[in-house]
Amino acid sequence: MEHYEMKRQVDQARKHNKEKFKQNSKERLIKIVGKHCTTAMIGTLARLEETLGDVWGHGESNLTEEQEYMQHVWSELREDILDHCNGQKRAIVEEINQHTITWNRYKTEFIVKNPN
């Protein structure tokens, strides 16, 4: 009877570890996808500021009336873009949570050659 109890405990431990691995895989994917989304979002805004920043006097202290207006427009647009992208990130997380995910991990295969 002792053998069957030990086997049951091992099977329970394997099942628990498998479920934990699935959860960790999902959390890993959410973290990686979230980073990529944030990088794309912030990188795009930075490129827009580099390219079009002169329109609203980006980095300048004395702004013309037109630059102040354009800075206000840019601030509202930037906030709207950030809100939209963050909403999409939340939607991605919700979608990922609807799936069962396991990470295939990194695998290394060694090729054994016959010396002859």
Tokens describing residue 106: 């990194």
Say how many CA atoms lie within 13 Å of 93 toward its Cβ. Answer: 15
Per DSSP, 108 falls in state -
Inter-residue contact 1 to 9 (CB < 8 Å): no
Inter-residue contact 67 to 56 (CB < 8 Å): yes
pLDDT of res. 113: 86
Per DSSP, 98 falls in state T
pLDDT tens by residue, 23-57: 999 999 999 999 999 999 999 999 999 999 999 99
pLDDT tens by residue, 70-96: 999 999 999 999 999 999 999 999 999
d(CA 58, CA 50): 8
Q: How many residues does the chain have?
A: 116
Q: Structure pTM?
A: 0.73
